[in-house]
Amino acid sequence: MEDIYPCIVAQVDDTYTLRQLALVNKDINQFAITRLYNTVRLSTTKQVLRFCLQAPGWVTSKVRHLELRISMEGLGSMYLPIDMLIGNLRMLNTVATLDIVMENDEPFDGTHSKNTLMLNYMFQFLLGYLFDPTFAGPMHLRARYTVLGRSSQCPFEFLEHIMYKLKHWTAVQTLDLPVIGPFRSTAAPASSRWNVNAANSIKTISLSRSFFRICDRHRMGEWLEEIAKSRTKIGNLDTSEDKSNDDYRKIRLEIRGPVDDSTKECFDNFRRAKDPNGVYDFVIVSEGRETEHVEIWRKRILNGRE
């Protein structure tokens, strides 16, 4: 009889039925619970806090896919003495895909807003306290900043916190970044916060086409250049050997199009200046990936489709 339980649970698509199945008996409960918490969606700051403080302890080993869709309007509810509660927080350690969308009703203007302190606090919470300190990171990470539903240039605090996590998240293979704008493009060069060695597991980086117009004066451009040098130096890429060698590893660099002649010229300049050894494989993809639905994105990357 127990052999049929996984088959029954596999046919269920709605949360309500899964919850009901979890109450039938302890045998079917384990299958229903695993499916129920396989994907967790948190859409408000209050939901995030409630999950971290009230979710059962065993949830931390069940969540495989985490979706965070947070409105900037709810920043006020994030301010709690989290450091005092750290021992009671539920920290995740089995997440395979992480999708973060920050929503706002007005564009980022490139200045420090009055909510800068709160922004930093929120990003630290979402990218820090939600995850166990020993967590090696999700295999696939996507981040977006949207204005009225459209993908837009992200605040530099958002990008800084994502890149800082790569110091510790050494398991990331897909890094799908938000639109990067020119603001503060001449800030301090890539520092220890933007760790290069931790990026050795990355196989795909996705960037908006607009980035390449400023890549020669942006910290991200320096980081990409350092990765290319590091891969060549440590032998992950050895152009003197047969390209079929397992050690011959490139990084797929996706550019979310469309791309015109002037942008192609920027690609060529990037190759000459920052990637002379050809570490990056440039691939133009649809601009539709800026707002690709999370389930389509997740299914595509998990199935290995490019």
Residue 289, token pair as written in the block: 């990936």
Determine the pLDDT at residue 207: 94
Rounded distance, CA 135 to CA 94, Å? Answer: 8
Residue 38, token pair as written in the block: 């396989």
**What is the chain's pLDDT, residue by residue, as a tens digit (306 residues)?**
556 756 665 556 666 666 666 667 766 665 566 666 678 888 877 788 778 877 777 777 778 889 998 887 655 555 555 555 556 677 888 899 999 998 887 777 666 555 566 666 777 777 777 888 888 999 999 999 998 888 988 887 788 888 888 888 889 999 999 998 765 544 444 444 566 666 678 999 999 998 888 888 788 888 898 888 888 876 544 555 554 444 447 899 999 988 888 888 988 999 999 999 899 999 999 989 999 999 899 999 998 866
Determine the pLDDT at residue 104: 82
Query: Which among 62, 65, 80 has a CA at the least distance from the CA of 118?
Result: 80
> Would you say 65 and 36 are in contact if contact means Cβ atoms under 8 Å apart?
no
List, as one string, the DSSP characters of 50-114: HHHHHS-GGGGGT--EEEEEEEGGGGGGG-S-HHHHGGG---B---SEEEEEEEESS---SS--T
55's CB contacts (< 8 A; 6+ apart) are 90
3-class state of residue 122 by DSSP: helix
- Tell me the pTM: 0.82
Rounded distance, CA 148 to CA 132, Å? Answer: 33
Rounded distance, CA 100 to CA 141, Å? Answer: 8
> Would you say 248 and 242 are in contact if contact means Cβ atoms under 8 Å apart?
yes
